[in-house]
Structure 1
Amino acid sequence: MTRLPASKPAVASIWGFFALSFAFSWLVWGAILALPLPDDLLLPCIILGAFGPSFAAIYLVQRYGQAAEKRDFWSRVFSFSRIGWAWYLVIMLIFPAIYFLGYYIYSFFGGTQPPVASLFSGLDSPSSILIFALIILFAGPVSEELGWRGYVLDPLQEKYGAIAGSLILGLFWIAWHLPLFFIEGTSQHAKGFGFQFWSWSFQLIMLSFVFTWVYNHTHRSILGAILLHLMANIAYPTNLDLTGEVVFTLLRLIIVLGIVVAWKREKPISLTLVSN
């Protein structure tokens, strides 16, 4: 049965959180667009801007949270015991499974899967491996998930339910990324606003539903969300043509529908505080 969020913390502020997250990220990314930054500062500034959601969550929890809320928040960040072994397998395997299944279906339409080794091209030294690991961990998983899932998902679910709450969060997640589409060198800029933009947008909607599903079954684990985000980034299909984007979009739609049907069939349970 789905583990619904704890009773809404006094600190929770949906719109205040979104305002702070967008303000920080868009100011940093806006500065990149407005100022002539040297090339070696571009990536650090992009990553700094990505910390808007997590910085907003930390500020709101530490500034307005009660002692129990602060303990709960940081326990959900660092506790490995919240996540059962079965859900560790889900976290580690669901996006690679989507990746390989999508390319398998795509192969019937003439598509080819990039060699798995290409995902790690250029990692030919310990220092390059370390830098890559730090970037892929902090540029997205850590910089975002303390906010998206760790802070705002609970009140969204309590106010709107799991389905509408996941959809609302997904739409804000898309909008939050928009400045990156104007910054040269980002993966978003490479996509542009053609069919890849719409496929990527639906990817975020699908991710929002999957993250809520996993989050609600792992005792509201922020660590679980960080690991899930990490796997989603590693196993994201790239350089697809229109046919490939359609294949993956339809596959993602099936996953979202499956989660929604599962939620609809579950009996509602009371919103009681989940013990640490």
Structure 2
Amino acid sequence: MRDSYLKQREPSKPWTFFALSFAFSWVVWGAVLAVPMPESLLLPVIILGAFGPTFAAVFLVQASSDKETRGDFWNRVLSLKRIGWRWYLFIFLFFPAIYLLGYYVYSFFGGSQPPVESLFSGLETPADALIFALIMILGGPVAEELGWRGYVLDPLQEKWGALKGSAILGFFWICWHLPLFFIEGTSQHAKGFGFQFWSWSFQLVFLSIVFTWVYNNTNRSILAAVLLHLMANMAYPVNLEPVGEAIFTVIRLLIVLAIAFAWRQKPSVKKQLIRA
């Protein structure tokens, strides 16, 4: 794996990747703002715009890499074997555990956990459930992770280290979402630019750090990032009051500090990547 990684690292173009990702997504989302369109097209076009990172990564990998590196990229997307069973458990339980813990603490301050069935409101038929599943998988996990973790994370953490590289990626992740705050009907538009915006921004930096930790411990598995992103979306607390937002922010901060401490006890990420 060492030679494969080094071959991939050399042609990686993080700034070109960011430019292509932002250009595609912002042009598509800008069209939503500038051009009146039927409501039936709104969601498909928003999801199309979300594919900027993945489209950019696939284009750069296919255009700039040799056959071995392209094979390694798609193996990291599709291989189930890269993720050990312990990490599968972590991926599927981590965010639900935060969800339950956060609401448990929130209950002491007068908050209440939404009923489980609210996560599936409006899904009255199998067709509705299938559409919901496709949106949850495509509109974020698949649309983004082949780019964020699959392409640009390695050069960022190779240059700046795991923690700082994750924070830099988190910053670009926040900026990439900004047009969605001006599109009515999106969850970002509902948040606005008040306290919830800053809580959400920290959430993305937190996610970036957690995703890097899982990615580095699953043989650079892009599939692991896709599944983790899916679970993060499925177990995301919504409609929180400022107290609830603060509670979840503190829980996330404590987790980030624990991960940062764990990284300090191990060899540098550069050495970990070279060994992978």
Whether the TM-score (by the shorter chain) exceeds 0.5 is yes
Q: Distance in 2 between matches of 1:119 and 1:224?
A: 23
Q: Is the 8 A contact 1:10 1:65 kept in 2?
A: no
Q: Which runs of 4+ in 1 moved over 4 A?
A: none
1:199-235 residue CA offsets vs partner (Å, 9 max, x unmatched): 1111101000000000000000000000000000000
**Bigger helix share:** 2
Q: Percent identity?
A: 68
Corresponding residue number in structure 1 for 2:61: 61
Q: Distance in 2 between matches of 1:97 and 1:250?
A: 15
Structure 1 pair 64/223, CA: closer, same or farther in 2 (3 Å)?
same
Counterpart residue type for residue 274 of structure 2: T
Q: Distance in 2 between matches of 1:51 and 1:267?
A: 34
Corresponding residue number in structure 2 for 1:216: 216
Secondary structure at 2:5 match in 1: coil
Q: Distance in 1 between matches of 2:141 and 2:180?
A: 17
Corresponding residue number in structure 1 for 2:240: 240
Counterpart residue type for residue 25 of structure 1: S
Are 1:249 and 2:253 matched, yes or no?
no
How far is the alpha carbon of 1:152 from its aligned partner?
0.2
Counterpart residue type for residue 127 of structure 2: S
Q: Distance in 2 between matches of 1:121 and 1:271?
A: 43
Corresponding residue number in structure 1 for 2:274: 272
Between the two proteins, the alignment pairs up a number of residues equal to: 271
Corresponding residue number in structure 1 for 2:76: 76
Q: Distance in 1 between matches of 2:102 and 2:31?
A: 38
Q: Distance in 2 between matches of 1:224 and 1:255?
A: 19
Corresponding residue number in structure 1 for 2:134: 134
Give the TM-score normalised by structure 2.
0.96
Structure 1 pair 17/242, CA: closer, same or farther in 2 (3 Å)?
same
How far is the alpha carbon of 1:9 from its aligned partner?
2.2
How far is the alpha carbon of 1:270 from its aligned partner?
5.5
Asked which structure has the greater RCO (Cα within 8 Å, sep 6+), the reply is: 1
Q: Distance in 2 between matches of 1:169 and 1:259?
A: 17
Give the TM-score normalised by structure 1.
0.96
Are 1:88 and 2:82 matched, yes or no?
no
Q: Is the 8 A contact 2:216 2:273 kept in 1?
A: no
Query: How do residues 134-173 of structure 1 correspond to structure 2 at under 5 angstroms?
Result: 134-173=134-173
Corresponding residue number in structure 2 for 1:6: 5
Structure 1 pair 33/190, CA: closer, same or farther in 2 (3 Å)?
same
Structure 1, unmatched stretches of 5+, are: none
Structure 2, unmatched stretches of 5+, are: none
Q: Is the 8 A contact 1:9 1:69 kept in 2?
A: no
Corresponding residue number in structure 1 for 2:118: 118
Secondary structure at 1:6 match in 2: helix
Q: Distance in 1 between matches of 2:273 and 2:238?
A: 40
